[in-house]
Chain A
Amino acid sequence: MKNTIRQVFHSSKFLVGFIIFVAILLTVWIYPFFNPGNPLEMIGVGTFAKPGTYVSLYDALNTRTETLRLPDADHKRVSYLLSDADRVSMLEWFDIMDIDVSGLDATDTDALLDLWFKNYDPSVKPKGMTQAKRNFYKRLDKSVQQIRMADTLKVMHPEEGELVERSSVTKTDYVNVGDVANVKALPLGTDNFGRDVLKELVSATGTSIIIGLIAGIVATLIGLTLGLLAGYVGGLVDDIIMFITNIFTVIPSFVLLILISYSIGQEQRGATVVALVIGLTSWTWTTRSVRSQVISLRSRDHVNLSKLSGHSLVRIIVTDILPYIASYVVMAFILQVSSGILSEAQLSLLGLGPKTTVTPTLGLMMNWAMLYSAHTNGSWWAYFPVILTITLISFSLNLMNTGLDQVFNPTLRD
């Protein structure tokens, strides 16, 4: 036994898979200590805030400033504030006005703005241009002028119906982020409901792994029991069990899963219920393979001797059959966990997963991202990390399985 475990950990494939899986588990366990609270709390009001560090503007204005004179600050500020869409609009204007833009690089902000200020005239009414479009250009011009011109921003404070100047901010004022009271890091931004995606993802990973484990345990237990009975007892019992198993095998389990989930109804579908349903529809494969292993074992001499010793059916199954197929069952269990997690993701993506308000799961996060068109509006952070996590979990489990396979079936070893 000790020897087998040592051998298992010497298999590099198993080790890599094991390390990835344990790392995921540790993250799920430790992260909430650093970032406690409800993972479904809506901290943002808008949808899909970009990943990054958010600094409270109010607090920043009230923070002691230092003066830094950085040579390229002006240039950077202008080019940051001038969006790509604005640049394209400017180029369109030049085109309409037949202005030669050859040799102009649209990313060269200074050259672009020079050309703009030289040529833009709000009073010109180009032919075919709508009023709305002309107003758009007027607003664009105004904002660009502000970027360039304003040296100081005044911070006003209302006092007895009058605005009183409280402080002013110049272009050379800087605050230390560490001095600002409220800074929020959102490494994966927020989702469609304004929730912290990273926090949600960690919590969802935990739930999904639990769903996978429950589904795996249920499927393995059912499959193992039926497989042992069918294989060892044989005869009529075998015929009945295999009849049921074949029916379940012929009906695609995913269709069954969809139908059962739908008939349970949205309100009753908690994470545990979904896990049980997945487990109840995926045991056939384990039954079939355990049965065939047991059939080859039951005619072995040590089983016959155990019978002759007068041992009971249960004792023979537990002590003379089960240990021989244990490694196989462990491998089947790992695969069941992996496919349980994937099944939950598939179900949830269809909107048949656990009810949406209690706990996040990986599948639900994908479902939300899809419903709010994260994939079409470029909010990759709402779904890509989820896909990556599902892939990593299933990759690590499958790697562990292959590693075990190599140890237990030495003929496969390379």
Chain B
Amino acid sequence: MSEKRERKDFSNGPLCLSGRGVTKVFGLGEKKTVAVDHVDFDFHEGEFVSIVGESGSGKTTLSKMLLGLINVSEGEILFQGKPRDIGSGRKKREYWKGIQAIFQDPFSSFNVFHKIDSVLLDCINIRGGRGLSKEKKIEMMTEACSFVNLKFAELTNKYPFELSGGQMQRLMIARIFLLRPKILLADEPTSMVDACSRATILDMLLDLRDETGMTIIFITHDIGLAYYISDTVYIMEHGRFVESGKADEVILNPKAAYTKRLISDVPKIHEEWDLSTVDLKTE
């Protein structure tokens, strides 16, 4: 995790998802809450974007709007440069072929009544692979599982709840690997996973991006993770983006007070650890 990653510049690349004045208001009158307040953003194809903010800053509401699971109160979202139209059920389904998600809690992300095979088979069917031979389908599932370091042969006939949280989240990535959407929205995918699996999952997301060229929108409260993984960072406070830009610029040279606070809350993100006193030799 310590090696420095090459960050690419996407700012001149083709647009994938953008927003103009996107707002979400819950409730009416005195009980009105503005969860997302007139935000603008431009996510480019193949870009790894992080949206960082505390709990309650509107990250998850924004992600649900991006996914089309809840309606936008005001403003508009553009998909590949054109205004997004998800008015009817069919158009929604068409849109969802291009965008997928990994959620925070792997334990509630799977239907406990479906076996792992059927979860992956479903993905192949969605991608139009219904007519493929059984051998071909198994080959595809095996490939997807090996991409996330899981053995498909060991997973057949198992239920998701028989796996650990980290394995489940990897299975989620295998699902995305099969679905190959244009955009992946990862809503705090590592926050409920043990620390050892965290780095593995992040690296897998990066590999996924490199392999498929999809845009990944990574939502997190941990600015350290965002710095490690992303090309572009958006900092969100009380429903607004207070700062955005290339990860190096934003985090190594923060301007907004909120960003500075977030950085100072992360233990030793900008200091080299002195490990010279630790005996790391094994017998």
Interface residues of A (CB under 8 A from B): 300-302, 304-310, 313, 319-320, 323-324
Whether the pair A310, B109 counts as a contact (CB closer than 8 A) is no
Given contacts A300-B108, A302-B109, A302-B110, contact A308 B103 (CB under 8 A): no
Decide if B273 is an interface residue (CB 8 Å cutoff): no
Most A CB within 10 A of own CB, among B108, B110, B123: B108
Contact residue among A308, A320, A323 (Cβ-Cβ distance under 8 Å from B96): A308
With CB as the reference atom, state the residue of chain B lying closest to A320.
B111
Task: Kindly state the separation between the CA atoms of A310 and B98 in the bound complex, as whole angstroms.
Answer: 11
Give B86-111 interface residues, CB cut-off 8 Å to A: 89, 93, 96-97, 99-101, 103-105, 108-111
For the A-B complex with A301-B103, A301-B109, A310-B93 known, give 6 more contacts whose Cβ atoms are closer than 8 Å: A301-B105, A302-B108, A302-B109, A304-B69, A309-B126, A324-B113
With CB as the reference atom, state the residue of chain B lying closest to A321.
B111
Decide if B122 is an interface residue (CB 8 Å cutoff): yes
Task: Kindly state the separation between the CA atoms of A304 and B108 in the bound complex, as whole angstroms.
Answer: 10
- What A residues does B96 contact at CB under 8 A? 307-310
- What B residues does A308 contact at CB under 8 A? 67, 69, 96, 99-101
Most B CB within 10 A of own CB, among A302, A313, A323: A302
Nearest Cβ on chain A to B262's Cβ, whole angstroms: 26
Q: How large is the interface on B (under 10, 10 to 19, 20 to 34, 35 or more residues)?
A: 20 to 34
Task: Kindly state the separation between the CA atoms of A309 and B114 in the bound complex, as whole angstroms.
Answer: 15
- What B residues does A305 contact at CB under 8 A? 101, 103, 109
Q: Interface on chain A toward B: helix, strand, loop, or mixed SS?
A: helix
Given contacts A301-B103, A301-B105, contact A306 B111 (CB under 8 A): yes
With CB as the reference atom, state the residue of chain A lying closest to B69.
A304
Nearest Cβ on chain A to B171's Cβ, whole angstroms: 12
With CB as the reference atom, state the residue of chain A lying closest to B109.
A301
Task: Kindly state the separation between the CA atoms of A310 and B109 in the bound complex, as whole angstroms.
Answer: 16
Whether the pair B111, A310 counts as a contact (CB closer than 8 A) is no
- What B residues does A309 contact at CB under 8 A? 96, 122-123, 126
Task: Kindly state the separation between the CA atoms of A301 and B105 in the bound complex, as whole angstroms.
Answer: 8
Task: Kindly state the separation between the CA atoms of A300 and B111 in the bound complex, as whole angstroms.
Answer: 10
Most B CB within 10 A of own CB, among A307, A308, A309: A308
Given contacts A301-B103, A305-B103, contact A310 B97 (CB under 8 A): yes
Give B111-126 interface residues, CB cut-off 8 Å to A: 111, 113-114, 122-123, 126
With CB as the reference atom, state the residue of chain B lying closest to A305.
B109
Whether the pair B103, A319 counts as a contact (CB closer than 8 A) is no
Nearest Cβ on chain B to A326's Cβ, whole angstroms: 9
- What A residues does B110 contact at CB under 8 A? 302
Give B182-225 interface residues, CB cut-off 8 Å to A: none
23 pairs, A vs B, C-beta closer than 8 Å: A301-B103, A301-B104, A301-B108, A301-B109, A302-B108, A302-B109, A302-B111, A304-B67, A304-B69, A304-B101, A305-B103, A307-B69, A308-B67, A308-B69, A308-B99, A308-B100, A309-B122, A310-B97, A310-B126, A313-B89, A319-B111, A319-B114, A323-B113
Nearest Cβ on chain A to B77's Cβ, whole angstroms: 16
- What B residues does A319 contact at CB under 8 A? 111, 113-114
With CB as the reference atom, state the residue of chain B lying closest to A309.
B126
Task: Kindly state the separation between the CA atoms of A300 and B108 in the bound complex, as whole angstroms.
Answer: 7
- What A residues does B69 contact at CB under 8 A? 304, 307-308
Nearest Cβ on chain B to A373's Cβ, whole angstroms: 57
- What A residues does B108 contact at CB under 8 A? 300-302
- What A residues does B100 contact at CB under 8 A? 308
Task: Kindly state the separation between the CA atoms of A2 and B166 in the bound complex, as whole angstroms.
Answer: 27
Give 1 or 0 for each of B119-154: 1 = CB within 8 Å of chain A CB: 000110010000000000000000000000000000
With CB as the reference atom, state the residue of chain B lying closest to A308.
B96
Task: Kindly state the separation between the CA atoms of A389 and B97 in the bound complex, as whole angstroms.
Answer: 59
Whether the pair A304, B103 counts as a contact (CB closer than 8 A) is yes
- What A residues does B111 contact at CB under 8 A? 302, 306, 319-320, 323
